[in-house]
């Protein structure tokens, strides 16, 4: 490493593993739940509920994100968001995150700095800390995050408790990330509203614990798309789910974008993933909690239908498929 290389211009190879860890962790304020933060063999996190909720999601460059389309800061936020929304879908509040980061030796340290700043920003939106991690050499930028959460006394809401007669409801945006992906895929960079939604989701974090408090019988985050993820609930609960077409809101903005691209906005809403909305089922005849809107009902049978009919078209994302 030349003596004229400033800290900003360094590659991760020049900074070294320990220097990088220092850059990512130093000067960051940890929330009260972090009893012991980064820098030791392991972190210690409060789990006053006597249980801990845990989930892992891995994002790989060129598979889950492109640095030509998103800044490292946006990728960092998204990597954290997709994990936090899994906690919300159980009815839990996030407490801590561990980050396993792999990157090629020639990666500029500025990429790691921005990535970690994005992670911290998203984590701090929900009061969670980055409590630990690992940094290794890898052929592609690989971000493996484990998110830990606190149920605060709630019963975890699984995918398997939906009963015929329950109301099916959603919280958060649907179809926006798919619209953004379609725009980016055609080489455009706007409208910003949909492109931004593809770059960084806005999961309705608070809606998860609210749904659990309201007695939600099942819940999932819609990372694979509404129909596909409701299909997971239907399968796990051994029920059918029938959406009512008139309740499926197609935002005017998505209709405009679809019109410009010759695409179908309703298809984005029903099948687009990556918005990290929440879908849940609730007992009938009671008000839905704040932020939730009804889209259908749980029925006897199996599978997911719209107004009683099978929806034609792709229904979700599966790796290697």
Residues 160-219 within binding reach of its own copies (CB under 8 A): 160, 219
Min dist CB 23 to its own copies, Å, is 13
**Residue 56, marked binder:** yes
Nearer Cβ to its own copies, position 66 or 186? Answer: 66
Choose, by CB under 8 A, the member of 75, 80, 87, 162 that binds its own copies: 87
Q: Does 52 bind its own copies (CB under 8 A)?
A: yes
What is the separation of C-alpha 292 from the centre of its chain, rounded to a whole number of angstroms? 18
Site for its own copies in 58-77 (CB under 8 A): 58-60, 63-64
What is the 8-class DSSP label of residue 312? P
The answer to whether 293 and 249 are in contact (CB under 8 A) is yes
Q: Does 131 bind its own copies (CB under 8 A)?
A: yes
Nearer Cβ to its own copies, position 82 or 288? Answer: 82
Q: Does 108 bind its own copies (CB under 8 A)?
A: no
Cα angle value 32/34/37 (rounded, 5°): 135
**Residue 255, marked binder:** no
Question: What's the CA gap between 59 and 101, in Å, rounded?
Answer: 10
Question: What's the CA gap between 22 and 191, in Å, rounded?
Answer: 38
Nearer Cβ to its own copies, position 41 or 285? Answer: 41
Q: For residue 290, give both structure tokens.
A: 């704040």
Provide DSSP, 235-284.
HHHT-EEEE-GGG----HHHHHHHHHHT--HHHHHHH--SS--EEEEE-S
**Residue 176, marked binder:** no
Would strands 142-150 and 93-103 be described as parallel, antiparallel, or unpaired? antiparallel
Choose, by CB under 8 A, the member of 117, 138, 206, 250 that binds its own copies: 138
Q: Does 227 bind its own copies (CB under 8 A)?
A: no
Nearer Cβ to its own copies, position 189 or 319? Answer: 319
- Site size toward its own copies (CB under 8 A) is 75
Choose, by CB under 8 A, the member of 101, 184, 257, 304 that binds its own copies: 101
Nearer Cβ to its own copies, position 126 or 179? Answer: 126
Q: Does 110 bind its own copies (CB under 8 A)?
A: no
Choose, by CB under 8 A, the member of 24, 53, 214, 226 that binds its own copies: 53
Pick the stretch among 130-138, 168-176, 193-201, 305-313 that binds its own copies (CB under 8 A): 130-138
The answer to whether 255 and 298 are in contact (CB under 8 A) is no
The answer to whether 147 and 86 are in contact (CB under 8 A) is yes
**Residue 305, marked binder:** no
Q: For residue 280, give both structure tokens.
A: 């849940």
Pick from 79, 82, 6: which is nearest to 276 by CA?
82
Question: What's the CA gap between 280 and 219, in Å, rounded?
Answer: 4
Q: Does 255 bind its own copies (CB under 8 A)?
A: no
Give residue 185's region: left, alpha or beta (phi > 0; psi -120 to 50).
Answer: alpha
Q: Does 43 bind its own copies (CB under 8 A)?
A: yes
Residue 303: phi and psi, rounded to 5, are 80, 175
Q: Does 271 bind its own copies (CB under 8 A)?
A: no
Binding residue positions for Mg(2+): 41, 55-57, 86, 134, 221, 224
Binding residue positions: 41, 55-57, 64, 86, 133-134, 159, 221, 223-224, 274, 317
């Amino acid at each position: 490493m030349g003596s004229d290389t400033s800290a900003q211009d360094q590659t991760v190879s020049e900074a070294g593993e320990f220097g990088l860890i220092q850059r990512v962790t130093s000067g960051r304020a940890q929330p009260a739940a972090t009893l012991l933060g980064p820098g030791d063999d392991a972190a210690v996190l409060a789990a006053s509920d006597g249980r801990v909720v845990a989930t892992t999601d891995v994002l790989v460059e060129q598979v889950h994100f492109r640095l030509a389309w998103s800044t490292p800061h946006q990728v960092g936020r998204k990597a954290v968001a997709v994990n936090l929304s899994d906690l919300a879908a159980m009815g839990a509040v996030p407490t801590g995150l561990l980050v396993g980061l792999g990157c090629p030796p020639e990666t500029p340290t500025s990429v790691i700095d921005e990535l970690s700043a994005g992670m911290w920003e998203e984590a701090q939106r929900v009061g969670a800390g980055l409590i630990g991690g690992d940094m290794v050499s890898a052929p592609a930028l690989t971000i493996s995050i484990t998110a830990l959460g606190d149920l605060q006394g709630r019963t975890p809401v699984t995918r398997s408790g939906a009963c015929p007669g329950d109301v099916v409801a959603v919280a958060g945006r649907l179809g926006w990330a798919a619209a953004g992906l379609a725009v980016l895929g055609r080489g455009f960079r706007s409208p910003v509203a949909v492109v931004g939604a593809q770059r960084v989701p806005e999961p309705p974090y608070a809606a998860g614990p609210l749904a659990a408090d309201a007695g939600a019988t099942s819940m999932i985050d819609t990372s694979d798309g509404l129909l596909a993820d409701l299909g997971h609930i239907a399968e796990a609960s051994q029920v059918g789910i029938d959406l009512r077409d008139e309740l499926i809101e197609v935002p005017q903005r998505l209709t405009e974008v679809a019109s410009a691209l010759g695409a179908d906005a309703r298809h984005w809403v029903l099948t687009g993933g990556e918005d990290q909305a929440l879908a849940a089922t609730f007992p009938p005849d009671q008000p839905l909690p704040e932020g939730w809107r009804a889209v259908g009902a749980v029925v006897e049978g199996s599978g997911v239908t719209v107004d009683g009919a099978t929806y034609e078209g792709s229904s979700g994302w599966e790796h290697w498929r």
